[in-house]
């Protein structure tokens, strides 16, 4: 009877190991991989918040997607710290220096490039 139980247990473990979900596309990424993405998205979201632009949570959406894509807790922490560092550095910049057409266009362009880079990175890693 003990032998049967141990066989069933071993078989169950083997099945569980074989059915484990594959790591997501963000598994194994480093801050160097996502730095070119999180930085422009943070600037874009920050500019939107400072200038009263609604529905511009591109950095927030990226971080949520990164987590769902299997990023490690360490990478999430590093990404959030990087975004917080940028936000702290720009917090006291007067809006009249930030809310300009040139900065809107620049951050929009950079955010679009970053979002494409994220799409490409997810596709390459999956």
What does the pLDDT look like over 68-102, one tens digit per residue?
A: 999 999 999 999 999 999 999 998 899 888 899 99
| Helix/strand/coil for 118 | helix
Answer whether 45's CB lies under 8 Å from 108's CB. no
Per-residue confidence band for 50, with pLDDT thresholds at 50, 70 and 90: very high
pLDDT > 90 fraction of the chain, expressed in percent and rounded: 65
Q: Which helix (H) or strand (E) holds 24?
A: none
Torsion (CA) 63, 64, 68, 72 in degrees, nearest 10: 40
How many Cα atoms are found within 13 Å in the side-chain-facing hemisphere of 3? 0
**Mean pLDDT within 33-51:** 95
Boundaries of every domain in the chain: 25-125
């Amino acid at each position: 009877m003990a032998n049967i139980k141990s066989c069933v247990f071993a078989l169950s473990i083997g099945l569980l190991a074989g059915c484990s979900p594959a790591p997501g596309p963000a598994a194994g990424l480093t801050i160097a991989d996502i730095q070119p993405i999180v930085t422009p998205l943070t600037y874009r979201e920050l500019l939107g918040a400072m200038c009263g632009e609604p529905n511009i949570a591109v950095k927030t959406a990226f971080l949520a997607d990164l987590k769902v894509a299997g990023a490690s807790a360490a990478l999430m922490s590093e990404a959030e710290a990087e975004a917080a560092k940028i936000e702290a550095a720009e917090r006291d910049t007067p809006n009249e220096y930030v809310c300009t057409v040139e900065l809107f266009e620049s951050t929009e362009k950079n955010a679009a490039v970053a979002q494409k880079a994220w799409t490409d990175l997810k596709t390459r890693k999956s």
